[in-house]
Amino acid sequence: MYSPHVRREATSLIDSGVSYTEVGRRMGINRSTLQSWMRDRSLVDKYLGTDLCPRCEPIPGTPKPLDAYSYLLGLYFGDGSLTPAGDPAKRVWRLRVMCSDTWPGLIELCAGAMAAIRPDHKVSRVPSTGCTEVHSNWKHWPCLFPQHGPGRKHDRTIALEPWQQVIVEEHPKNFVRGLIHSDGSRVLNRVKRKHPDGCERYYEYPRYHFTNVSTDVIGLCTEALDQLDIPWKVHTSKGKGTHQDKHVVSISRKEAVARMDSFVGPKY
């Protein structure tokens, strides 16, 4: 299957007077295929509305809308994956994001982000034990999520492409929101403090946690938080000795939690 821009380029060359034989030689396209495109111009843009990939255009573009993509990228780094859809020979990929049934609102947000990026593709919801898989099939999902690769994310390097970096820097709130919605939480922390009168009292305050086994993904999260001027720290656990967990980011200052509440908020 030829992409729309290849079809357009081939027919434009023929329109300009280049022979079928020469166009076929330059572009590696069978003469009969070129002739069928010239006889029926609807075949040239047949997949324009359904299969056009912004990254595969002669001048690569970015997926739109940018805010939806930044949010979906955060979800992908947390609970997302790409797998072949059906026969691998057809090279159709399934973008899958696993969403807990505890948060039905997030299932709709995830489906909405996928639909916004590919409005002419179906977004499906498949129930499973305790969760729902939100997925959409498309040949070009790997173009939009080049971090895809064999094995688990934490076993390979995860880094943003330059064009992704630009999007995340333009829409860091959406990116952080996607990360928190996938592998984060807003919790109520309860601590016991001893007063001067000798009495011990409990205090409660909200905080955000983001947990991911990939230190690269943790780094992407903290970079976005730094850009937003939201202070964070590596989570410290207490028990049999105090230790830090480099896979958990904690946001606990009152003003920082308030900032997070303004664009992330608790799951629902």
pLDDT value of position 217: 96
pLDDT value of position 36: 86
pTM of the model as a whole:
0.80
3-state SS, the chain, equals CCCHHHHHHHHHHHHCCCCHHHHHHHHCCCHHHHHHHHHCHHHCCCCCCCCCCHHHCCCCCCCCCHHHHHHHHHHHHHHEEEEECCCHHHCCEEEEEEEECCCHHHHHHHHHHHHHHCCCCCCEEEEECCEEEEEEEECCHHHHCCCCCCCCHHHCCCCCCHHHHHHHHHCHHHHHHHHHHHHEEEEEEEEEEECCCCCEEEEEEEEEEEECCCHHHHHHHHHHHHHCCCCCEEEEECCCCCEEEEEEEEECCHHHHHHHHHHCCCCC
pLDDT value of position 48: 52
pLDDT value of position 266: 76
pLDDT value of position 57: 78
Average pLDDT per consecutive 10 residues, the chain (268 residues; last block may be shorter): 75 86 90 86 58 81 96 96 91 95 94 94 93 95 95 92 98 98 91 75 88 95 98 71 74 95 88
